[in-house]
Structure 1
Amino acid sequence: MNIELLLSLAIIHAVALVSPGPDFALVVRLASQESRSTAIASAVGISIAILIHTILSLTGVSLIIKSSQTLYTIMQMVGAGYLAWIGFSAVKGSLQHWKAKVSVNSSPFKLNQLTPKQGFMQGLWTNLLNPKAMVFFIILFSAMITPDVSFITKLSATVIMLGLSLIWFVLIALILSKPMIQQRVQKAAPAINLFTGLLFMAVSSAIMYNLLEGVMVLSESAI
């Protein structure tokens, strides 16, 4: 077992986890506005998606998808569409709340609208359908996991990636889902939704931009 390699992977993955992105934003949003079980379910969903990305990258499946223009284009389109839909829904809910608050002058933000299953699925698809996540794992494992690395080391790397993901996202879910904290951030819930929605839509736009850029390059090379 290559301890030095595993430590390097753990550090890189930990840095990636704490960096703000769609996964982090989703857990913050659900943990501050939904039930604790729903927030934890979303954290587990994200972690399972990371486990799937890890396995697909280690087995070379992700690289095959990335190398196939058709498969990767489909994934980009589906991923961008899903992230855009989640983002639009969050922004729409935020704006509707502000509009209602202006008209009635008092409209408490509705909490606990999602079931744990819905939270899990949102977490799973948010990470799994994000092409940037897949590319990250392809680059990470292509650079650090060489053919001579033992099966035990690969298995240990998989456990580490899953374990760190669970610890980080479940910790966020546990902290922000405390009733005292939820009460304090309830007034900021529409703003959190607006920020989360705009972030998801920005990531979706970036994916679509990269997709269109690739299509244009192919068109120019074909001429």
Structure 2
Amino acid sequence: MFDAVFFSQFFILAAAHFFAVASPGPDLAIVVKQSIRYGKRNAIITSIGIGSAILVHVGYSAVGIGILIKNSPLLFDILKYACAAYLAYIGYKSLRVKPSAPEQFNQKEREDIQTGAAAFRLGFITNVLNPKATLFFLSIFSVIVSHETPNLWLGTYAIYLSLATMTWFCFVSLVLSKEKVRNKFLTMGHYFDWLMGVILIGLAVKVAFSSL
């Protein structure tokens, strides 16, 4: 159970995951948008959704479906185009936000409440369809994790990666949703929504042209 080989796998996996989760990508863009637009609560729920989706990636990598995805350009293309379309859709909705006077923002926000279920679903779907996450787990499980790794350790990896992802994005949510930070962005009003729309559509294009 306490084999040094598996401890070594864990630490390498944890280190690789730290750099991967902290790098810019669709997950971070969504958390930034949620933090500024909807505040701390919904941003944290979205972060939990992102972390929960990690279990899906670990699951298919552990049972070998990851090998099928890696060896099937068609399946990978379906995944990345689905992600690109989803990000483009969210970006398009942001670009459609109409200008409003600053004093109208709070009222508009109250009228545009996002449910916790919708916030969780946004994070979960974004990460599940994120080719960056898929490529990370395909690579890490084919290079670091062996077929001899016990299920107990695989479960430990899965729980750690999920919780570590949640923790990181919850931290980002707490920082960006602070009143002073958030108010600075909110003074931009619809310009912030437009900016995030452009970023999300740009990420959609990048994802669409990603490759194995």
Is TM > 0.5 for Structure 1 vs Structure 2? yes
Opposite residue 109 of structure 2, the aligned amino acid is: L
CA deviation after TM superposition for structure 1 residue 3, in Å: 1.8
Structure 2 equivalent of residue 171 of structure 1 = 171
**Matching of residue 78 in structure 1 with residue 82 in structure 2:** yes
Deviations 1:140-166 (CA, angstroms, capped at 9, x unpaired): 111100122232322221121011111
Q: Quick one: distance in 1 between partners of 2:39 and 2:115?
A: 8
Identity %: 27
**Matching of residue 161 in structure 1 with residue 161 in structure 2:** yes
Q: Quick one: distance in 2 between partners of 1:206 and 1:180?
A: 32
Opposite residue 169 of structure 2, the aligned amino acid is: F
Opposite residue 154 of structure 2, the aligned amino acid is: K
* Unaligned 5+ runs, structure 2: none
* Unaligned 5+ runs, structure 1: 215-223
Indicate how the Cα distance of structure 1 residues 185 and 199 shifts in structure 2: closer, same or farther if over 3 A, else same: closer
Opposite residue 36 of structure 1, the aligned amino acid is: K
Deviations 1:173-220 (CA, angstroms, capped at 9, x unpaired): 233333444333311354443333223212221233347xx9xxxxxx
TM-score by length of 2: 0.84
Paired residues of 1:22 and 1:199 also in contact (CA < 8 A)? no
CA RMSD across the alignment? 2.4
Q: Structure 1 segments of 4 or more deviating over 6 A?
A: none
Q: Quick one: distance in 1 between partners of 2:151 and 2:17?
A: 20
Q: Secondary structure at the match of 1:20?
A: coil
Q: Quick one: distance in 2 between partners of 1:206 and 1:184?
A: 29
Q: Relative to structure 2, which stretch is displaced further, 60-69 or 158-167?
A: 60-69
Q: Secondary structure at the match of 2:109?
A: coil
Q: Quick one: distance in 1 between partners of 2:163 and 2:33?
A: 22
CA deviation after TM superposition for structure 1 residue 86, in Å: 1.0
Q: Quick one: distance in 2 between partners of 1:62 and 1:134?
A: 8
Structure 2 equivalent of residue 134 of structure 1 = 134
**Matching of residue 41 in structure 1 with residue 45 in structure 2:** yes
Q: Which has the larger radius of gyration?
A: 1
Structure 1 equivalent of residue 118 of structure 2 = 118
TM-score by length of 1: 0.80
Q: Quick one: distance in 2 between partners of 1:66 and 1:120?
A: 28
The counterpart of 1:108, out of the listed 105, 110, 115, is 105
CA deviation after TM superposition for structure 1 residue 84, in Å: 1.0
Matched residue count: 205
Paired residues of 2:105 and 2:189 also in contact (CA < 8 A)? no
